[in-house]
Every structure is written in structure tokens, then in C-alpha cells.
Amino acid sequence: MVKTEKNTKELILEKTIEMIHLKGVQDTSINELCQVTGISKGGIFFYFKNKQELVMEALKYYENKFLKFIEDNLVGDTAFDKLYSLFNQIILLHHSRNFKGGCVLGNSALELADKDEDVSEVLKGIFYKWSKTISNILSEGVKKGEISDEIDSDSLAFSIISAVEGGIMLSKLNKNSYYLINAIKLVVNQLESIRRQ
């Protein structure tokens, strides 16, 4: 296949995300990126003026894939069905990788929160969109009479994400699904406590 400008840029972004996922931003080197893509430094810097811009664009590229994964797995008739379907797919995804790499977003947030304000803003935006997706499902459940109307959907959405991210991190550290499964069980218990009978 003849390389076009679009698929060359996409290849660079895909390989950058793969490297960030496994090595972190700091240890993602342009030299290694050249090796895995077969593209020269000049070719990479034709599209991105520096490493920071490359990282930011790679995270934005990943954002689309990540949010599509979330949307595609919110399957079912009720808010509970949708959220439990998503939780199940998150467990399966990370288990299939033996928790290698963990979560790109969580890892990058921990690594860069105090180091790079611009990249941090990109990450905040992705987490915000994820939380709004969850919040909207919860609000929809309230409107349909599935969920208690006493909840704060935004706060609950953030607590769900915090639990999931913490579970992923500990499962990555221990290479054991127990931590993510247990975190999600606690979230499910919390959700069941607000289910309207």
C-alpha cells in the first residue's frame, strides 16, 4: 500500500500511543519511534514540531478510540445494564493484556500532572468527557425511574472512574485481576443501593 500523508501521520500516532502505554511519556523516544515506524526523524517532525506536540496529538488521537470503546460497550436497556456491560468489557480488556501497561490515561496523568500543564489539560478533557458519558447514563436512569433522584450524577460518575482507575493501577502493579474486579464490585454495590425497586 502506498503511504499517504494521512496514514503516515496515523501510523506515527498509533505507535506513539503504543509506546506511551508500555513505557510512559518520558521513556518514549523519537529514535525508537523512528525504528518501529520506519520513518525518519525529519519525517516525524514534518508532522509534529516537537515531542510535546506529538504526545498531545497522540493522546487526542487515542481519545477518539477510547471514547468509542466506552460508547460501544454501553449496551442494554437500562442504565444498570449499560454500566455493567461497560465494566465487564473493561475487566476483559485489561485481563486479556495481563494488565500490562495499565491505562494510558491514568498512567499519563500520574506521570505528567506536575510536569506538563498543556498535556495535563488534554488529559483533563478526556477524563471530563468520560465522566460526562457516565453521568448522562445515570441521569437518564433517574429520568426513567430506575435510579433514585437523590443522587448527584456528576459526583457519582467521578467516583466510579476513580474506583476503576485505582483498580486498574493495582491490578497492573500486582498482575492480578482481583483488584479491578473488587473495585468494580464496590461500584456495583454502590449503584445497587440507589436502584429504585
Q: What are the pLDDT digits (tens) for 49-106?
A: 999 999 999 999 999 999 999 999 999 999 999 999 999 999 999 999 999 999 999 9
Q: Give me the mean pLDDT over the 155-181 stretch.
A: 97
Residues 23-48 pLDDT 10s: 999 999 999 999 999 999 999 999 99
Supply the pLDDT for residue 3: 53
Helices (H) and strands (E) in the chain, counts: 9, 0
Coil/strand/helix, residue 152: coil
Q: What is the mean pLDDT of the chain?
A: 95
Q: How far is CA 133 from CA 28, 78, 83, 136, in A?
A: 30, 15, 10, 5
Band (5; pLDDT cuts 50, 70, 90): low
Judged by DSSP in three states, 79 sits in helix
> Of 1.10.357.10, 2.40.30.10, 1.10.240.10, 3.40.50.1820, which CATH number belongs to 51-192?
1.10.357.10
Q: Going by C-beta distance under 8 Å and a sequence separation of 6 or more, which residues neighbour residue 76?
A: 82, 84, 85
Q: 151's torsion region: left (phi>0), alpha (psi -120 to 50) or beta?
A: beta
- Across the strands, what pairs with 147? 195
Residue 30, class by beta-carbon neighbours within 10 Å (0-12 exposed, 13-18 middle, 19+ buried)? middle
| Distances, alpha carbon 94 to alpha carbons 63, 97, 134, 159, 185, in Å | 17, 5, 20, 20, 16
Domain boundaries, given as residue ranges, for the chain:
51-192
What's the pLDDT band for 197 if we cut at 50, 70, 90? confident
pLDDT of residue 1: 43
Q: pTM, whole model, 2 decimals?
A: 0.91
CB 183 within 8 A of CB 75: no
Q: Are 123 and 107 in contact (CB under 8 A)?
A: no
pLDDT at 41 (0 to 100) = 95
Q: What average pLDDT does range 109-133 have in this prediction?
A: 95
For residue 29, give the amino acid letter. Answer: S
